[in-house]
Amino acid sequence: MNKVSQEIMGMLGISLVLDQAYFKDFFEQNDSILRLNHYPPCQKPELTLGTGPHTDPTSLTILQQDQVGGLQVFADEKWHSVAHIPGAFVVNIGDTFMALTNGIYKSCLHRAVVNTETVRKSLAFFLCPKLERPVTPAAGLVNAANSRKYPDFTWAALLEFTQNHYRADMKTLVAFSKWVQEQESNNKLIPYGQCWALWAWGTNKQLLWVNKVRLEGDK
C-alpha cells in the first residue's frame, strides 16, 4: 500500500507541474494508518449511517470494499453509489493533501450506508505525513491567483483535533484551521519585559487587563 501510494504521489506531483519527487519525498517517511471497517446489517438502514458524510482528514485513501457495496460519493449535488469492481481500489484525496496543494486538489465528500441483509467490510489505507512534519503548501502553488488557504499545521495536530475535538465531516479543514489560529493566539503569551511595561502603563491608565493579550505586530 505504501508503495502504491508513493507511485500515486509521483503522478500527483507531475499533474501540478511540481517535481515528480516532490510529494514522494514528503511522504517517504510517513505515519500512515490501516483500518478495517465492519458494518453489521441493520433492520432500518434508512435511519442509520454506517459512516456519516465526511472527507478523510488524511492525505490519500486507498480503499478496498467488498462485493456488498455501500460506499457513496457526493458529486453534482447528489449521492452516487461507488460500484465494487473486483481487483480495483477506490482512491480519494483527503484534507491534508488539499492543504498541501493549497486547495487545488479537493478532498472528496463520501459516506458508507448499511443494508438489512449482509455484513459489509472495507479495508482502508490512509496515507499520512510524519506526525510532526509541517504541512505547508508547495511554494509554486501559492500565488496572486491562488492565495494561501490554510495555516501551517502538523498531522499530529489534525489527528488530535479529529479524535478529541471534532468528528470529521465535510467542514473539518475549515473548522481545524480556525482552531489552529485560536490555539496560536491563546498560546501567545506576552514576553515578560513587555508585560511589565504594559502593567506599569496600565496602572497609570487603569488598564490592568494584560493577561493573554495578543499584541498587535507580535508575530
Ligand X SMILES: O=C(O)CCC(=O)C(=O)O
Would you say 56 or 95 has its CB closer to Fe ion? 56
**Residue 124 engages ligand X in binding (rule: CB under 6 A):** yes
Q: Do 149 and 99 form a contact (C-beta atoms < 8 A)?
A: yes
**Residue 95 engages ligand X in binding (rule: CB under 6 A):** no
Work out how close the CB of 94 gets to ligand X at its nearest, in angstroms, rounded to a whole number.
9
Q: How many CB atoms lie within 10 A of CB 70?
A: 23
**Residue 80 engages ligand X in binding (rule: CB under 6 A):** no
Q: How many CB atoms lie within 10 A of CB 62?
A: 20
Q: Which residue is nearest to ligand X (CB)?
A: 122
| 8, 60, 62, 71: which one binds ligand X (CB under 6 A) | 71
Count the helix, strand and coil residues of the chain and give each as a percent rounded to the nearest 5. 35, 20, 45
**Residue 56 engages ligand X in binding (rule: CB under 6 A):** yes
**Residue 37 engages ligand X in binding (rule: CB under 6 A):** yes
| All cell numbers assigned to 188 | 501567545
Work out how close the CB of 75 gets to ligand X at its nearest, in angstroms, rounded to a whole number.
15
**Residue 59 engages ligand X in binding (rule: CB under 6 A):** no
Q: Which does 194 bind (CB under 5 to 8 A by kind): Fe ion, ligand X, none?
A: none
Work out how close the CB of 134 gets to ligand X at its nearest, in angstroms, rounded to a whole number.
24
DSSP secondary structure letters along 29-49: SB--EEEEEEE---S-GGG--
Residue type, 17: V
133 tagged catalytic? no
Burial of 145 (0-12, 13-18, 19+ CB in 10 A): exposed
Burial of 63 (0-12, 13-18, 19+ CB in 10 A): buried
Would you say 4 or 123 has its CB closer to ligand X? 123
Work out how close the CB of 103 gets to Fe ion at its nearest, in angstroms, rounded to a whole number.
19
| All cell numbers assigned to 78 | 447528489
Residues within the interface to ligand X (CB under 6 A): 35, 37, 51, 56, 63, 65, 71, 110, 112, 122, 124
Q: Which residues are catalytic?
A: 120
